[in-house]
């Protein structure tokens, strides 16, 4: 299915940049799945990294420094997928889960296990909003969660800082430069990702889709009704 959202008239009456959040609900099938925009550029925001300390830093300001330059490079009219998934397919998950009642209120004619939710973040200006948004269901049903980690000692053991700066404990070398952590110079036993990496990553906490929801004041919910046979 394809559909459009008119933006040109509102954009012309805007004094500047406009942000739109689109929540689209489709079937969890190859006829539905993740929703995308066909006539504007898609941008990717690097994530799965440490963004800052929530006690002293502002997540909205951080995210803007990641979003704005990529949006500008795309011509000041672009979009990104901030969340896409179905029931139980998020990792990490937001604090608020959608319910059957929510789906029914949005016009979705199916149960919780049958839906697929996509959240798109679009930004444009009066000059760059030259076309209405053209959206379509891609048929892709794998989940996508834009998430970031808080800065704390536990996360720094296993997650890099956003921008490519390695954490203090990652890549540390021994003092004699031999490449071995054993003082006697004997080779350390090999460890598999399941043994070493999972034990370190199991304690890492992330700031996921729920935090991104709070950044923007407005959104547009679009429910795609399932077609009844006959």
> How big is the chain by its Cα radius of gyration, in Å?
21
DSSP secondary structure letters along 96-127:
S---HHHHHHTT--S-GGGEEEEEEEEEE-TT
Residues of the chain with pLDDT below 70 are 94, 164-230
Question: Among the residues of 74-208, which ranges form H helices?
Answer: 100-105, 153-156, 196-201
Domain ranges for the chain, please list them: 2-43+62-147+208-223
Q: What is residue 169's DSSP assignment?
A: T
Give the per-residue pLDDT at 173.
40
Give the per-residue pLDDT at 188.
34
Beta strand residue intervals within the chain, DSSP E? 2-5, 18-27, 35-37, 41-42, 50-52, 78-85, 115-124, 133-137, 144-145, 148-150, 206-207, 220-223
Give the per-residue pLDDT at 164.
65
Nearest CA among 136, 179, 197, 187 for reference residue 2: 136
């Amino acid at each position: 299915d394809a559909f459009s959202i008119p933006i040109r008239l509102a954009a012309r009456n805007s004094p500047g940049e406009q942000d739109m959040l689109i929540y689209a609900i489709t079937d969890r099938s190859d006829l539905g799945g993740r929703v995308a925009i066909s006539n504007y550029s898609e941008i990717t925001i690097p994530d799965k990294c440490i963004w800052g300390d929530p006690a002293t830093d502002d997540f909205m300001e951080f995210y803007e420094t990641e979003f704005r330059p990529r949006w500008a490079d795309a011509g000041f009219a672009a979009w990104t997928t901030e969340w896409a998934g179905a029931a139980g397919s998020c990792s990490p998950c937001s604090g608020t889960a959608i319910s059957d009642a929510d789906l029914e209120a949005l016009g979705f004619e199916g149960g919780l296990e049958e839906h697929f939710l996509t959240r798109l973040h679009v930004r444009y200006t009066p000059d760059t909003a030259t076309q209405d948004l053209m959206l379509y269901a891609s048929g892709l049903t794998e989940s996508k969660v834009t998430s970031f980690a808080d800065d704390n000692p536990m996360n720094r053991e296993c997650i890099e800082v956003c921008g490519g700066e390695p954490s203090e404990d990652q890549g540390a070398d021994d003092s004699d430069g031999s490449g071995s952590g054993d003082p006697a110079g004997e080779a350390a036993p090999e460890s598999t990702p399941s043994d070493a990496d999972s034990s370190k990553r199991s304690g890492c906490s992330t700031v996921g889709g729920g935090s991104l929801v709070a950044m923007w004041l407005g959104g547009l919910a679009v429910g795609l009704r399932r077609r009844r046979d006959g």
